[in-house]
Each structure stands twice: as C-alpha cells, then as structure tokens.
Structure 1
Amino acid sequence: MHRSAPRLSRILACAAVPVMLFVAGCSSDSDGSGSAPDKGKGPASSATPSAQQSTKTVEPARFAKLPDVCKSISAKTTASLVPKAKAKNGTTAPSSDTTSRGGCSWNGLEDKGLKGSQYRWLDVSFYRYDSDTSLGSGQERAQENFTKELAKLQATEGAKKVRTTEAPGVGEQSKAVAYELRKTGEDFKYASIVARTGNVLVLLTYNGAGYAGASAPTDKVIMDGAVKAAKEAVAAVASANS
C-alpha cells in the first residue's frame, strides 16, 4: 500500500539523526590544536639555561590532512547501504575548520509498494588532532577522545539492547556499539563504529528500519554495513596523506 508524499517527508524528517550532532560533540576537543602560547614566563633573558633545556617535546602528529569526507566511502558502498539516498553524493556537515573536522551523511527511504519500505541512514565524521606541548601528541589526544566518544555511544538516551564489541580490521583502535531505538513508531537497528588511526578519530553510524509492514533489517546486516564503510573511511585517511 503506497503512502502519501507528506507521510514520506515526515518519516525522513523524524528518522534522521544528523551527523552534525557528532561534530558539535567533539568540536570543543578539537579547538586549540595549534601550539599553545607560553604563559607565565618573563623576558627570554631572565630564563635560566636549565629552564630552557626542560622545554617539553611531543611526538609529531602522524596525519596532516583529512580526506574529502563525502568521498571517503566509495559510491558503490553508499549506494548498496542507502539504495535510495536523497543525495547520492552525500550531504556535507558544516565545519569551521575542515583541516581538523568534517562530516557527511546519506539517508533515504526505499518504497517497495505492497512490500512496505526500507529506511537507511549512514553518516561519517572525522576529527584530526595536532600535537601540542601542553595537550600532548596528536595520537594521545585522539586516544583520549576515543574513550570519550565510546562512552557517549554506550550511554545513548533511549537505547535498548546495547552491545559493545571489537571491530576487527578497522584502524589501530576500534569498537563497535550495536543498539536499538524506537522512533516514528518503528524499531531502528543501529551500529556505530569508533575508530582511531594515528591522530585521527573516525566516527561512523549506520541504521535502518522497516515501514508499512516491512521487516526491520537484521543486526548482522546493519553491523556488517557499518564495518565495511568504516574500513573504507579509515583507509581514506592514509590515502589523503600519501
């Protein structure tokens, strides 16, 4: 049974979880990535030799650039995960500093007539951390924020059946969080990946639901799709810096 255009618009508007939420969640951690100013020191001539020699050094950040976010996942993969995406090339999330953070998302509702409809959403965000003598190396900062972002996912409001597992083959450090959310009268299946490669953090979420009598996607389908896309996103970081 077909639904009206207003009904489809309402489903898309209610079901979407903007990738900008991730951007807003991490932007404060990304600020101040440049070298911190020296504070509390007198003129250079008054500093003792021992004080000058004790200046802290940190490991250089491994990656200097981020990939083009909407191209970090292949068109073939996004088409298979979100068959009827409203914007096939993805929708870029606003960023005030594209060298440090960026995001892109795809979402769409595939109408299968009497068989119901399938909704899918995919989003990916990147955060790059520079090395800073007062904050630590880029790698250390990415590790710290990995832990913070994982905790946020595990505490998602309204989430049910939350499970955290490894995400093999995704970056140097990664976790996968699967859960369910009830929205627009349907049960949505979610799979979110938090991955770190060097000084870059990658956050990816894939979710879906069935409408008008269509069955919800299986946990495996959603998790496999999220892992596949996350592997491509992580690989894109290295390619952008090669």
Structure 2
Amino acid sequence: MHRSAPRLTRILACAAVPVMLVVAGCSSDSDGKKDADASASASPQVTKSEPTVEAAKFAELPDPCSSVAAKTVKSLVPSAKSKNGTRGKSSDSSARGSCSWNGLADKGVKGSQYRWLDVGFTRFASDQTLGSGAARAGEDFTKQVGKTEATDGAKNVKSEPVTGIGDQATKVTYDQSKADEDFRYTTIVARTGNVVVVVNYNGAGYAGSKTPTAETILKGATMAVKDAVAAVADANGSKETGASPETKTSNSPSSSATTKKSD
C-alpha cells in the first residue's frame, strides 16, 4: 500500500501532459489567426478610378442669326429677303442652331445676282463614356467635310485645310447646276473647342448676269465663318483671336452635325 501512492502520482502526472500540450497548441493557433487578421487590416485598400475626360471649353452657343455681323450679311447678301435671317428649328438651342439669308439683286438689263448664306452650330458636351467635347467635335468635323464633298451633282470639288480659323478648318469649293443656272459654292467647316461651325455661301447670275467667280464666293464664306467662330467665344465670355491653345498641327478634314439647307 505504501508503494502505490508514488506510482499513482506518476500516472496522474503523465496523464496531465497531453492536456497541457493541447491547450498550448490551441493558444498558438489563436495567436497566429490574430496576427494574420491584423496584417490584413493594416494593408492599404486599392481602389481603381476611371480617368476624367477633359472639360468642354464652351458651354453656350451664340444666337445663330446674330453670329454673322450685320455689315457682313449686307455685303454678302445685299438684297436679303430678311436682314435678320431665317432661324432654323432646333429642339435644343444650347446644342445646335442655324440661320440663313438669301436674296436676288435685280440689276435691270444687266440681269440679277442671287446669293445664299447659312451658318450652323453644333456643340458637344464632354461625356465620361463618349469622350471629351473637343474629341467628339473633331469626329463630327470630319463627317461634315466628307458629307459636303459628296454633295449630289457637285462638280470640280476641291478641299483644302484653312489656317487661322478656330482649331481646325477646311474649305470645300464646287460648282453645281440648278434650273439651267450655274452656281458657285463654298462650304467652310471649322472647329473651335467643342463646337463645330459650318458656313455655306453660294451664288448665281440670272437673266444674262455672269456667274460669280469662285474667288468671290470663297472670300464671302471666309468673312462669315470668321464672324461665326468669334461669336462662339463672345457667347462664352472669351475672346477668339484665331486658333485656340489646343490647336493641333494637322487640319485633317472632319465635320459638323448641322444640315445644309437647299438653295
């Protein structure tokens, strides 16, 4: 009996060893999990953001019927039916607008001279999905030049970049016959910032009067488009002095969304 007590003590001591190891093992796993959680929470959270498109340069369009100076209209269409012009319909005047003038100057036995002038504006807003207003206007610029070059019945079509008008500009000159009369045409498509301007000017001689020269019609269209481009800047409280800072070196043909009116 005296010998059994020490033996019992040894058995209990050995039985306690696995329990202690289990407890120690659990404690170690718990500490490891806490360290991992702390490390994860300390790591920086990376968030992806889409690049912001460039803000549109112009927020407003000018009154199209006031965009060409009165003295310019008088010079180009001396016998205009309406000196104030005929305003085109638009569902959103802040995005697009147009105006036209036309008239027949009777010169008696020397015949008559007919003239038509119209100007159109299209403004493009910057859009995160569609791109910047300037880029969108550039695409439309190209389309409008191509559309003019493809005018039905146009003859002797010539296109050429023009410098000193907005950020990019292209002139398209051509001839066309209507009702047995020969017409001379010039269309100038210009982009200033996020706005596309399209000016059409044409003329013909009636009752024996000579057809106006290509140079005369080109000069008139150039006068009108310079007025119109300057009017965009004025409508937005800035001053247009030729090409704006974002002007690129290339003047690749582009286009505008205004619709050319028939003569």
Shift of 1:57: 1.5
Shift of 1:167: 2.2
Give the letter for the 1:53 counterpart.
Answer: K
Shift of 1:137: 0.2
Q: 1:156 aligns with which of 144, 151, 157?
A: 151
Residue 207 (str. 1) matches residue 207 (str. 2): no
The aligned residue for residue 18 of structure 2 is none
Q: 1:221 aligns with which of 216, 220, 223?
A: 216
Q: What residue ranges of structure 2 are gaps of 5+ in the alignment? A: 1-44, 238-263
The aligned residue for residue 79 of structure 2 is 84
Residue 147 (str. 1) matches residue 117 (str. 2): no
Q: Tell me the distance in 1 between the aligned counterparts of 2:147 and 2:132.
A: 23
Q: Tell me the distance in 1 between the aligned counterparts of 2:165 and 2:51.
A: 32
The aligned residue for residue 166 of structure 1 is 161
Give the letter for the 2:180 counterpart.
Answer: G
Q: Tell me the distance in 1 between the aligned counterparts of 2:117 and 2:163.
A: 20
The aligned residue for residue 45 of structure 1 is none
Shift of 1:168: 2.7
Q: Tell me the distance in 2 between the aligned counterparts of 1:168 and 1:205.
A: 18
Shift of 1:184: 1.5
The aligned residue for residue 183 of structure 1 is 178
Shift of 1:170: 1.3
Shift of 1:165: 1.5
Q: TM-score, normalised by structure 2?
A: 0.72
Deviation sequence 1:64-114 (CA, Å, 0-9, x none): 000111111000000110010001110000000000000000000011110
Contact 1:169 1:231 in 2 (8 A): no
After TM superposition, the structure 1 = structure 2 runs for residues 51-200 of structure 1, keeping only pairs within 5 Å, are: 53-200=48-195
The aligned residue for residue 9 of structure 1 is none
Q: Tell me the distance in 2 between the aligned counterparts of 1:192 and 1:155.
A: 12
Contact 1:125 1:204 in 2 (8 A): yes
Contact 1:66 1:126 in 2 (8 A): yes
Q: Tell me the distance in 1 between the aligned counterparts of 2:99 and 2:133.
A: 23
Give the letter for the 1:123 counterpart.
Answer: D
Give the letter for the 2:167 counterpart.
Answer: E
Query: What is the percent sequence identity of the aligned residues?
Result: 58
Q: Tell me the distance in 2 between the aligned counterparts of 1:166 and 1:218.
A: 20
Give the letter for the 2:104 counterpart.
Answer: L
SS in 2 for 1:53: coil
The aligned residue for residue 44 of structure 1 is none
SS in 1 for 2:184: strand
Deviation sequence 1:210-235 (CA, Å, 0-9, x none): 00000000000000000111001000
Give the letter for the 1:54 counterpart.
Answer: S
Q: TM-score, normalised by structure 1?
A: 0.78
SS in 1 for 2:232: helix
Q: Tell me the distance in 2 between the aligned counterparts of 1:187 and 1:115.
A: 17
Q: Tell me the distance in 2 between the aligned counterparts of 1:63 and 1:166.
A: 23
Contact 1:167 1:227 in 2 (8 A): no
RMSD across aligned positions (CA):
1.0
Q: Tell me the distance in 1 between the aligned counterparts of 2:212 and 2:203.
A: 7
SS in 1 for 2:97: strand
Q: What residue ranges of structure 1 are gaps of 5+ in the alignment? A: 1-48
